[in-house]
Structure 1
């Protein structure tokens, strides 16, 4: 699933619900075109990680990577080594 632009309080739940509708065994959340990512977005990704344990991959933009690192989530198994 490709996400672009801002993921914030107004859009994070939409992203979450769209990803939860994925019927694949593995889910890739492509955030490389995301320019803003707030705590609501973090919460949505953490919920997805719980829903798809071991099968979620998040491809972050530089901004998303920075936010996740600041939040202490930089070493999560759903992030590719960087």
Structure 2
């Protein structure tokens, strides 16, 4: 994290297509970046979201909370594509069976 509070190992790039947003997240999602992930996934006018977390290297409880908030915001319309690290955290947290989780095949 730099002196301005921004984590140089994190990015969340979103692209809106109609009422769908896709967010590609890289780096570490933690208490300093989880809110930025949530904001990137909640632009006005969208009703479904895809989170591509395949390049996430660290995922903590704040990140889990952000994803749960997104699942509440987009019931039945959220897809999360995890990295192996994210998948492991979600498994430990008891969330591996959620319908929004799309583990790699």
Name the TM-score class by shorter chain.
over 0.9
Structure with higher helix content: 1
**Higher relative contact order by CA 8 Å / sep ≥ 6: 1 or 2?**
1
Q: How many residues align?
A: 82
2:64 is aligned with 1:57: no
State the shift of 1:8 in Å: 0.2
State the shift of 1:18 in Å: 1.1
Whole-Å separation in 2 of the counterparts to 1:64 and 1:38: 9
Match of 1:69 in 2: 91
Whole-Å separation in 1 of the counterparts to 2:49 and 2:94: 22
Normalization by structure 2: what TM-score? 0.74
Residues 20 and 5 of structure 1, relative CA distance in 2, 3 Å threshold: same
Q: 2:54 aligns with which of 29, 32, 42?
A: 32
Structure 1: 5+ residue runs without aligned partners?
A: none
Whole-Å separation in 2 of the counterparts to 1:74 and 1:23: 29
Could you list the runs of 4 or more consecutive aligned residues of structure 1 that deviate by over 6 angstroms after TM superposition?
A: none
Q: 2:69 is paired with a residue of what secondary structure?
A: helix
CA RMSD between the two structures: 1.3
Q: 1:41 aligns with which of 31, 51, 63?
A: 63
Whole-Å separation in 2 of the counterparts to 1:68 and 1:79: 9
Normalization by structure 1: what TM-score? 0.93
Q: 1:4 aligns with which of 22, 26, 33?
A: 26
Structure 2: 5+ residue runs without aligned partners?
A: 1-22
